[in-house]
Amino acid sequence: MSSSSARTETVLAAARWALAGLLAAAGASHLTWGRRGYRIVVPDWATRLTTLDKDAIVVASGAAELMLAGALVALPREQRTVGGLVVAFLVAVFPGNIHQWQTGRPAPMLRTDRARFARLLLQPLLIAWAWRSTRAE
């Protein structure tokens, strides 16, 4: 492996760890201090689509984030698969983010229209981050 390839792999590994940390923090907040706030922003259509109540959706998404974070760290040989799952998860929750922005409902750390809009712009970056960091050179 060339030194350039080794540096690239080191950067990608650091990016995966950082992504895992972000997912773990988000998952923990969905299960603890932010749980009530996240229930407020779950769209009504999500409860009809899943047959789950809003609290169950928040808990399930938090659990999924924690599992994805753990998989990013614990399953390096499966990083492409796990990365694909992270991307799928981020795409799946994006309609909820749009709903939150459209309705102006506050959530933890998203109390203003500007913050909610910035969160929308952040989602494609998170998706790209998940995709790129799990694709070895």
Quote the pLDDT of residue 75: 95
Domain range summary for the chain, segments of one domain joined by +? 3-133
- Distance CA(98)–CA(124), nearest Å, equals 13
pLDDT tens, 42-88?
889 999 998 899 999 999 999 999 999 999 999 999 999 999 999 99
Higher pLDDT, 69 or 36: 69
Per DSSP, the residues of 68-133 read HHHHHHH-GGGHHHHHHHHHHHHHHHHHHHHHHHHHT--BTTB-SHHHHHHHHHHHHHHHHHHHHH
The identity of residue 134, as a single letter, is: T
- Distance CA(113)–CA(111), nearest Å, equals 7
What confidence category does residue 1 fall into, taking pLDDT thresholds of 50, 70 and 90? low
Looking at beta carbons, which pairs linking 71-74 to residues 24 or more positions away fall under 8 Å?
72/16, 72/17, 72/19, 72/20, 72/23, 72/134, 73/16, 73/17, 73/20
Are 57 and 30 a contacting pair, CB within 8 Å? no
Average pLDDT of the chain? 91
Are 119 and 53 a contacting pair, CB within 8 Å? no
Percentage of the chain exceeding pLDDT 70:
98
What confidence category does residue 25 fall into, taking pLDDT thresholds of 50, 70 and 90? very high
The identity of residue 16, as a single letter, is: R
